[in-house]
């Protein structure tokens, strides 16, 4: 990669990141001779008895993809397994394979993966959980994050300081991403098939043991994987996607080839490439670089900001109660300033003037991370988790970009009331973790209209565990380079070029499915009742991945408990003792 990379951001609406889905493919796609690495991952997770490793398998793209970094001819995933279980995946009782959502990497599955494996192990079952990383994440440079120190990371990404003899080359611009112009749904499902074939060569074993699923976007990808044909001959079905899976699971999404369940989550001001041009014109635009090959926005949602979330996680992991200096230690640039204003403005006037800004408040490192990702702070629903609440000083309503109590774009912003510290240059604002909300010393903050901002039953994720997943994983929690072609394929679902990829539509119902939904998430109240979904009360969109193993009521985490039961014996929703009935 060139050292002269420019930090460019390509326009796309924030809302498109809520869309979950794409389309399936049947491509011959040759795979190279086996080449594989597996490296153990050290973790400070409190969940005992689980081993993690990062696995990389060489699966080259076809030569027609064009020049790309050597790392992008490898597929990666995080492998979680019971410490006392078999070393070979083929000997596990079950293998859960999870596709990530938009702007989401394998690291986002860390908590649910550990919780599921540990829960199954306690019941005498040795299962594995594979958190897949999209191929395009090969472009990410985690060197600064891997240093384990927040200041070192900032110096690496912004000040040209070396870490382990390496210098950050900058973020890739559109001209360097030509090979990503073909990373649509066809290549995405092909990658999953090739990876499964390489890691579990026995198709019969895959059909008996593998559960295929994902979160958000990953649920719809799973739907298209289920309908795919991978040898080019529909008459031979051993290779069909549904014959690689013993069951499906959907985490705050559905296993489907339709985006109908997510309708209403996308606002009217989308700035997607004009797919009205038709499939051929759009593909030509991607190939020629006229259209952005990686989906991002000028502020908030771009490679730089995704890296900043991990840097904030480092601080919350290192010293959660210490006063944060990150807002002042970061250099000033347009993206950082605009992102800070968007996330830390109590109203439109504050956003326009920038005063008071985040630098005017005293915050602990944990409070900084909470402000970035908590459902009572961050205004974008697909980034929300329930990790506690501000403490240590007065708070006020955050009425930007939508006013509390309004119905403006509820799918985009969520319905929970938002809050923000109310006294600049005042007290040190701390963070009350999920399991201390509702305690005797909880101030019980309320909105100006008297509505409580939160309650114990609505807080489910440990902020330290969220920080650990952001900062400790070798594969990112967030995704820096999401292929735009996945979105354009989605928008062109009725085009002949995409429709032909759905070869086995009956594959969607060929196996049992567990649908686990966040009670306060994107699909709350909108999923067909005949799916008999498992509902996780109080959960937000990310909580289905990040929720703590022990909940506020002292009970076990709901989603991983359901997954472990489903892995034990996959059943259809109406079957007796179906995991979908767990509440």
Radius of gyration of the chain (CA): 22
> Does residue 267 carry a pLDDT above 80?
no
From 41-50, 382-391, 568-577, the region with the lowest mean pLDDT = 568-577
d(CA 164, CA 290): 37
Query: Bigger pLDDT: 94 or 17?
Result: 94
* Residue 52: predicted pLDDT: 98
What percent of the chain shows pLDDT beyond 90? 78
What is the average pLDDT across 511-536?
A: 89
* Residue 34: predicted pLDDT: 64
d(CA 423, CA 331): 24
Check if the beta carbon of residue 479 is closer than 8 Å to that of residue 105. yes
Average pLDDT taken over every residue of the chain: 89
Can you list the positions of beta strands (E) in 133-274? 210-215, 247-251
The encoded tokens of residue 151 equal: 């200041």
Give the pLDDT band (50/70/90) at residue 581: low
> Does residue 520 carry a pLDDT above 80?
yes
> Does residue 25 carry a pLDDT above 80?
no
* Residue 261: predicted pLDDT: 59
What structural domains does the chain harbor? 14-134+173-291+484-581 (3.40.50.1820), 305-471 (no CATH)
* Residue 22: predicted pLDDT: 28
> Does residue 171 carry a pLDDT above 90?
yes
d(CA 469, CA 477): 7
* Residue 415: predicted pLDDT: 81
Distance spanning both ends of the chain, measured CA to CA: 50
* Residue 123: predicted pLDDT: 95
Q: Estimate the crossing angle of helix 150-158 against helix 303-318, to 10 degrees.
A: 160
Q: What are phi and psi of 164, to 5 degrees?
A: 55, 40
The answer to whether the Cα torsion of 560, 565, 568, 573 is positive or negative is negative
d(CA 244, CA 191): 13
> Does residue 265 carry a pLDDT above 60?
no
What percent of the chain shows pLDDT beyond 70? 90
> Does residue 7 carry a pLDDT above 70?
no
Closest CA to 107 of 478, 483, 543, 460: 478
* Residue 578: predicted pLDDT: 76
d(CA 22, CA 501): 11
Give the pLDDT band (50/70/90) at residue 365: very high
- What's the pLDDT tens digit per position in 310-350? 999 999 999 999 999 999 999 999 999 999 999 999 999 99
- What's the pLDDT tens digit per position in 282-300? 999 999 999 999 988 877 8
What is the average pLDDT across 489-517?
A: 90
* Residue 383: predicted pLDDT: 86
Residue carrying structure tokens 């509820």: 410
Q: How many helices (DSSP H) and strands (DSSP E) are in the chain?
A: 18, 16
∠ CA 176-23-487, rounded to 5°: 45
The encoded tokens of residue 516 equal: 């686990």
What is the average pLDDT across 21-29?
A: 30
d(CA 64, CA 484): 18
Q: Estimate the crossing angle of helix 110-122 against helix 558-568, to 10 degrees.
A: 50
d(CA 579, CA 397): 39
> Does residue 302 carry a pLDDT above 70?
yes
- What's the pLDDT tens digit per position in 227-244? 999 999 999 999 999 999
Query: Bigger pLDDT: 260 or 497?
Result: 497
From 10-19, 88-97, 125-134, 555-564, the region with the lowest mean pLDDT = 10-19
The overall longest dimension of the chain from CA atoms, in Å, is: 71
> Does residue 498 carry a pLDDT above 90?
no
- What's the pLDDT tens digit per position in 240-261? 999 999 999 999 999 988 766 5
* Residue 408: predicted pLDDT: 61
From 232-241, 336-345, 489-498, 501-510, the region with the lowest mean pLDDT = 489-498
> Does residue 556 carry a pLDDT above 50?
yes
């Amino acid at each position: 990669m060139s050292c002269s990379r420019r930090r460019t951001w390509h326009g796309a609406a924030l809302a498109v990141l809520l869309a979950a889905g794409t389309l399936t493919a049947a491509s011959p796609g040759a795979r190279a001779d086996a080449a594989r690495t597996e490296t153990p991952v050290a973790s400070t997770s409190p969940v005992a008895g689980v081993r993690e490793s990062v696995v990389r398998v060489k699966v080259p793209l076809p030569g027609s993809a064009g020049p790309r970094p050597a790392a992008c001819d490898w597929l990666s995933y995080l492998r979680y397994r019971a410490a006392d279980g078999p070393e070979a995946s083929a000997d596990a009782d079950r293998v859960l394979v999870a596709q990530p959502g938009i702007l989401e990497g394998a690291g986002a599955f860390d908590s649910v993966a550990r919780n599921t494996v540990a829960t199954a192990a306690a019941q005498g079952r040795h299962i594995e959980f594979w958190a897949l990383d999209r191929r395009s994440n090969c472009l990410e440079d985690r060197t600064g994050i891997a240093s384990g120190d927040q200041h070192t990371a900032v110096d690496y990404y912004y000040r040209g300081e070396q870490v382990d003899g390496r210098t950050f080359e900058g973020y890739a611009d559109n001209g360097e991403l030509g090979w990503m112009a073909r990373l649509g749904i066809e290549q995405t499902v092909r990658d999953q098939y090739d990876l499964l074939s390489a890691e579990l060569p026995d198709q019969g074993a895959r059909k008996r043991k593998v559960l295929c699923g994902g979160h958000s976007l990953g649920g719809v990808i799973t739907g298209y994987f289920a309908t795919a044909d991978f040898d080019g001959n529909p008459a031979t079905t051993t290779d069909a996607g549904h014959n690689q899976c013993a069951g499906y699971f959907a985490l705050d999404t559905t296993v489907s080839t339709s985006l109908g369940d997510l309708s209403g989550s996308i606002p009217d001001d989308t700035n997607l490439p004009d797919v009205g041009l038709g499939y051929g014109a759009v593909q030509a635009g991607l190939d020629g670089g006229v259209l952005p090959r990686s989906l991002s926005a000028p502020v908030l949602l771009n490679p730089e900001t995704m890296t900043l979330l991990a840097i904030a996680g480092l601080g919350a992991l290192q010293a959660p109660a210490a006063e944060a200096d990150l807002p002042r230690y970061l250099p000033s640039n347009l993206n950082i300033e605009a992102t800070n204003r968007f996330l830390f403005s109590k109203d439109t006037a504050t956003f326009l003037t920038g005063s008071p800004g985040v630098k005017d408040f005293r915050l602990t490192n944990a409070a900084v991370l909470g402000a970035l990702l908590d459902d009572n702070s961050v205004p974008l629903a697909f980034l929300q988790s329930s990790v506690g609440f501000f403490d240590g000083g007065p708070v006020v309503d955050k009425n930007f970009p939508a006013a509390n109590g309004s119905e403006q774009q509820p799918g985009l912003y969520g319905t929970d009331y938002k809050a923000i510290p109310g006294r600049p240059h005042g007290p040190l604002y701390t963070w009350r973790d999920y399991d201390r909300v509702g305690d005797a010393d909880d101030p019980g903050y309320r909105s100006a209209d008297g509505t409580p901002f939160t309650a114990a039953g609505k807080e489910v994720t440990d902020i330290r565990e969220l920080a650990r997943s952001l900062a400790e994983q070798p594969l990112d929690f967030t995704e820096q380079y999401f292929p735009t072609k996945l979105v354009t394929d989605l928008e062109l679902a009725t085009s002949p070029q995409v429709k032909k990829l759905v070869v086995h539509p009956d594959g969607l119902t060929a196996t049992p499915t567990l649908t686990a939904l966040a009670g306060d998430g994107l699909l709350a109240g909108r999923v067909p009742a005949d799916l008999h979904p498992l509902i996780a009360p109080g959960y937000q969109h990310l909580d289905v991945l990040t929720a703590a193993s022990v909940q506020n009521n002292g009970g076990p985490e709901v989603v991983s408990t359901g997954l472990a039961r489903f892995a034990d014996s996959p059943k259809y929703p109406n079957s007796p003792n179906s995991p979908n009935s767990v509440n």
